[in-house]
Every structure is written in C-alpha cells, then in structure tokens.
Amino acid sequence: MRDMKEAWTSLASLLGTLAFCQTLLQTVLPPELRFATLRFLKRALGFSSSYCYFEITEADGVNTNELYYAVRLYLSSFLSASCSRLSLSRAPNCSSTTFALSNNDCITDVFDGISVQWVHAVTQSQSQPSSRGEKRFFTLRFRKCDRDHILDSYLDYIMDKANDIRRKNRVRLLYTNSHGGWKPVPFKHPSTFDTLAMDPERKRDIMDDLRDFVAGKAFYQRTGRAWKRGYLLYGPPGTGKSSMIAAMANFLIYDIYDLELTKVCSNSELRELLMKTSSKSIIVIEDIDCSADLPNRSKAPPHPARRSCSNPGAPDAPSGGKDRNNNTITLSGLLNFTDGLWSCSGSERIFVFTTNHIDKLDPALLRSGRMDMHIYLSYCSYPALKILLQNYLGSEAEDLGQAAASELREVVKKAKMTPADISEVLIKNRRNKEKAVSELLEALKARAERNEKCGGLRDEREMNGEEEMGKRSKRRGLWRAPKMGETVTPFLARKWRMLKRSRQNERENLNLKGSERS
Ligand SMILES: Nc1ncnc2c1ncn2[C@@H]1O[C@H](COP(=O)(O)OP(=O)(O)OP(=O)(O)O)[C@@H](O)[C@H]1O
Ligand SMILES: [Mg+2]
C-alpha cells in the first residue's frame, strides 16, 4: 500500500516537472526557436533510440491510403482475442463484423520472429477539413535492424492477408449469363465437402487437388502454364455433381459463373463473357452434352434447330468448327473458351463441366490436359451412406445398431440408389430415426430386388446414367414423361414436375408474344 502511494507521488512530481519545463520553454523561447528546439530534441532522441517509427495515415493527400485499410483489416483478424476495448464496424455487402483498435490502443504482432508494435491514433486535423476534421493513422514501431525485412515483406504480407479477409467477408455471388452479360445473385448454397456423400478417400484427393491449385501460383508461373484447372464431373442424375460445385466454391471461397450455353449466340459472345469473369471464380457449364448442339470440329453439321441468334433465318455455320459468320457457337469456340489465349485473361480460375453421359462428349473435350480431372459420381456406397445418415439423422451408422448397420452395408451395394433418392427417404423421416432406417432399408431392398430381376439390361442402362424416367433427350432439360403405372423416384418426379412447369411457362410466353404480334 505504501509502495503504491510512493509511486503515485513520484509520478505526480514528474508530471509537475514536465509541465514546468513546458511553460518555461513557452515563455522564455520565441516560437521559431521553440519549434527548432523541439525538433532537435526529437531527432536526438530518435538517434539514440534503437527503434524506428512509420506513420500510415488514412488519407494520402486527396487519395485514400489502401495500406491503412489493409492494416486495419489485418489487425482485426487477431484483435478480438487479445484486446478488451475495440471498435466494431460492418461495411455494406459484408457478411461479418470488423474489429478495429480504439484510439491510442496498441497491439504487438510477430512476423518471421520479429516483434512489431502497432498504435492507432485519431487526432484533430486542421489541414484536412474534408476528412471530418480528424486525422487517423497507425504508427508502426520495430527495431532499426529489421527495417529492410519489415518494409520488404511484412507490408506485402499484410496486403495479401487483408485481400483474403475481404474475400472471406464479402457476400459471394452466383452469376448467370443473359443478353451477353452476367447477372449476379447472392450465392448461399450450404453444400460443403463435409456434407457431400462420397468415398472419403476420393473426397480427400479432390480437396488436395484444389488446395494445390490455390497454392500453385509460383508453380504455374515457373512451368509456363495458365493458372487454371478443369474438372469434368460425370455420373447419373442425383449423384451430387451440382452439390460438388457448390462445395468447391464454398471451400475455395470463389464466385460461380453458371454459363447457360443455349443463351450464347456466337463464339465472340462466349469470349466476351469469359473476359467479363473475375479471377478466383468457378466457371460452370452444366450438362455439357445437351446444353447446346456444338458442331463437331471434324465433321457433323450443326443441329437444324440451332440457328444464329442474331439472324434466325440465316443458314447454319459450316461444319468443321470454322465459324465464318461468327454467329453460332462451335466446339472450337468452346475449346478456345477453356484453353485458348483468351482463357488466360484472368488467373486462378476453375472450369467445371458436368454431364450424365460422358460417352456422348467429343473426344476433344476429354483429351488429357483439357479437363485436368475426371470425377465420376456414382450411386451411393456405404461410406457415402454413412455421411448421409450423419447429415440427416445426426448419428453414425453404428449407433443405429450392429444388425441394421451390417444390413445397410450389404443392401446399399446392390440397390444402386442415388444419394438424392436416399436423402429424400431420410428427410421425410428425420424426426424418427428408427422409422427412417427401416424405411430406408425397405426402399434399398426393393430396389436391389428389382435390379436383380432386371439383371444385365438395367446395369447397362445405369452405366449410361439412364434412370427409369430420367432419360434425357438431346436438349437440356427435356425428360421423358413417366409411363402409366411406372415407379418414379421422388427426386426424378420433382425434377419432372419442375421441367413440366417451365415448359408450360415457355409455351405461355410464346402464346403471349404471338398474340402481341397479331
Ligand atoms: N453426393 C451427395 N451428397 C450429398 N447430397 C447429395 C449428393 N448427391 C445428391 N445429393 C442430394 O440430392 C440433391 C440433388 O443433387 P445434385 O443436384 O447435386 O445432383 P446432380 O448430380 O447435379 O444431378 P443432375 O445430373 O440431375 O444435375 C441435392 O440437393 C442433395 O441434397
Ligand atoms: Mg446438377
């Protein structure tokens, strides 16, 4: 207690002495001499100090200082854990709150073993009335011997980190093409690699591949390759191709450009669309086998239904991929889109094509180097089923009882049901685990039995990705209607209803246009 008292007394006398010296300086010395003396004292103290100081102000003249905002964001990433007094803010189009240092608070950071100190200050500014009369700045303090390393690497590191944080915080977008441009909507698909039902080993391979891609800037530069990667996802409907694209985007924190080829009129429009995409994005073409009739590079005249967008009466583009009038899309145009010189106009981009029928794709699309990874998404296996049980019932397969678990393991192999179909059964009964498992077993057994009866024929059809009802016609989105009395899986039935509705809408639109014209 007495020590405390003494400390306070010493502090009070020190402050008193300082105040006396300041008054003396102000009264004895004329203003010019006073400033010169202060400058001299500051410099003398600076020379004797082993530290150097850098000020990073909010505005650099009339321009805002990017480094100031980068530092603020960077510090906010670890501030919340170490400070008790912080200022909070949330920018427009931002999905999270940003912490910032309060006035005159300081924080220590360590970079490559070097300790640096940051202080944030807000002072009244006479010279900059435009910035609300305040001058905000960070002061960075570190040892003079570390000057080169900090100025060369630390500040670049902060800029990179801040960009990453900005990307993570902002609302991501899903773009679709319309009228030659991209229209964005917020992308909020909840699918992740955790929720994706597939073999864990293959899942790990894909995640590793994506990680390598993101970290591969130097590799792609060194080997002279464009920094992009292509994935071809194929397999029957309802096996998780679209879900995997969403999981990839969520994993990498990328935007998605969902390219609807049927809305693109020409190769040049395709190229323009590509140039309008940003880096760190996934460009998706779903159902590549049926999203457009692409004239083959070597032969195959284009489909008669596919005419020029700009001139519906014009003849089709000549075969051989030579798009003389440049008013249709050809396979060459698509290949240039993914592989040509234009495809490198941005960097860090992923192309994903999906198909139900890999056998219908032109070999040019499949050749090695074009699509770097071919990923087959198949019917639900036991490891995949375990993930679905965890997703929908919140329990491990083993928790459902040894008998049920081993029965599920046996029957799921023979049933060849898609994750989409299994999900439907589980969602329906998610409040009652026992019922969910017994219904699932029933459905799997019924399917396995039917498969056995159908034998080889069904196997063959399934290899081509054909389901009872879901046999697609050549054009995207056209499904064969179920025959009377035909069993239809809930997933396919829903898809059929959706397509029927969209076709009806299309017909109504056409009728409307026709009546307007007449
Ligand atoms: N592998 C999977 N893991 C988790 N859920 C899945 C999986 N596959 C399908 N599903 C579920 O089924 C639904 C449909 O799946 P999705 O749209 O990804 O299938 P798809 O393979 O893209 O089908 P299509 O070929 O018809 O486009 C999803 O909303 C998801 O809930
Ligand atoms: Mg899909």
Lowest mean pLDDT among 14-28, 42-56, 241-255: 14-28
Q: Answer yes or no: is pLDDT of 80 > 70.
A: no
Cα diameter, the chain: 109
Nearest ligand to the C-alpha atom of residue 472: 1
Q: Is the pTM of this model over 0.80?
A: no
SS (H, E, C) 250-269: HHHCCEEEECCHHHCCCHHH
Assign 445 a pLDDT band (cuts: 50, 70, 90): very high
Question: pLDDT digit string (tens) for 222-281?
Answer: 998 889 999 999 999 999 999 999 999 999 999 999 999 888 888 888 888 988 998 899
240 lines ligand 1 (CB under 6 A): yes
250 lines ligand 1 (CB under 6 A): no
197 lines ligand 1 (CB under 6 A): yes
302 lines ligand 1 (CB under 6 A): no
DSSP string, 132-180: TTEEEEEEEEEEGGGHHHIIIIIHHHHHHHHHHHHHHHBPPEEEEEETT
Burial 377-393 (b: 16+ CB within 10 A, else e): bbbbebbbbbbbbbbbb
Token pair in block for residue 249: 């985007």
Residue whose CA is closest, atom 24 of ligand 1? 237
> What ranges make up the beta strands (E) of 405-445?
none
Question: pLDDT digit string (tens) for 285-301?
Answer: 999 887 656 655 444 44
Token pair in block for residue 430: 């998610």
Cα 177 to Cα 9: distance, rounded to the nearest angstrom: 74
Report the mean per-residue pLDDT for the chain.
77
356 lines ligand 1 (CB under 6 A): yes
Bridging pattern class, strands 51-57 and 86-89: unpaired
* CA 187 / ligand 2 centre spacing (Å): 16
CA angle 290, 291, 297 (to 5 degrees): 80
Residue whose CA is closest, atom 26 of ligand 1? 237
Quick one: which of 409, 415, 346 has its CA closest to 379? 415
* CA 286 / ligand 2 centre spacing (Å): 7
378 lines ligand 1 (CB under 6 A): no
420 lines ligand 1 (CB under 6 A): yes
* CA 241 / ligand 2 centre spacing (Å): 5
Q: Is 111 helix (H, G, I), strand (E, B) or coil?
A: strand
* CA 242 / ligand 2 centre spacing (Å): 4
* CA 338 / ligand 2 centre spacing (Å): 20
Quick one: which of 374, 381, 376, 284 has its CA closest to 338? 284
Q: Does the model's ipTM exceed the 0.95 cut?
A: yes
238 lines ligand 1 (CB under 6 A): yes
Question: pLDDT digit string (tens) for 479-494?
Answer: 334 444 444 555 555 6
Residues with CB under 5 A from ligand 2 (ion): 241-242
Which residue type sits at 364?
Answer: A
243 lines ligand 1 (CB under 6 A): yes
Cα 502 to Cα 480: distance, rounded to the nearest angstrom: 15
Assign 8 a pLDDT band (cuts: 50, 70, 90): confident
57 lines ligand 1 (CB under 6 A): no
Rounded (10°) CA dihedral 212, 216, 222, 226? 100
Which residue type sits at 462?
Answer: E
Q: Of the residues 199, 203, 241, 243, which should be mutated to test ligand 1's pocket, given the most ligand atoms within 8 Å of the CB?
A: 243
Which residue type sits at 381?
Answer: S
Assign 353 a pLDDT band (cuts: 50, 70, 90): very high
198 lines ligand 1 (CB under 6 A): yes
What is the structure's pLDDT at 310?
42
Quick one: which of 400, 411, 85, 352 has its CA closest to 234? 352
Burial classification of residue 463, based on how many CB atoms lie within 10 Å of its CB (0-12 exposed, 13-18 middle, 19 or more buried): exposed
What is the share, in percent, of the chain residues with pLDDT greater than 90?
34
* CA 231 / ligand 1 centre spacing (Å): 17
Q: Of the residues 198, 203, 231, 242, which should be mutated to test ligand 1's pocket, given the most ligand atoms within 8 Å of the CB?
A: 242
Residue whose CA is closest, atom 14 of ligand 1? 238
Lowest mean pLDDT among 206-220, 342-356, 437-451, 455-469: 455-469
Rounded (10°) CA dihedral 13, 17, 23, 28? 150
Assign 91 a pLDDT band (cuts: 50, 70, 90): low
Nearest ligand to the C-alpha atom of residue 199: 1
Lowest mean pLDDT among 164-173, 351-360, 376-385, 454-463: 454-463
Q: Which residue has the tokens 């600076």?
A: 46
Check: CB of residue 491 under 8 Å from CB of residue 420: yes
Burial classification of residue 364, based on how many CB atoms lie within 10 Å of its CB (0-12 exposed, 13-18 middle, 19 or more buried): middle
Cα 457 to Cα 460: distance, rounded to the nearest angstrom: 5
Q: Which atom of ligand 1 is nearest to the CA of 237?
A: 25
What is the structure's pLDDT at 493?
59
Backbone angles phi, psi at 285, to 5 degrees: -120, 110
β-sheet bridge partners, residue 375: 233
Q: Answer yes or no: is pLDDT of 125 > 90.
A: no
DSSP string, 48-105: H-SEEEEEEESEETTEE-HHHHHHHHHHHHHHHHH-SSEEEE--TTBSS-EEEEPTT-
470 lines ligand 1 (CB under 6 A): no
Cα 500 to Cα 488: distance, rounded to the nearest angstrom: 15
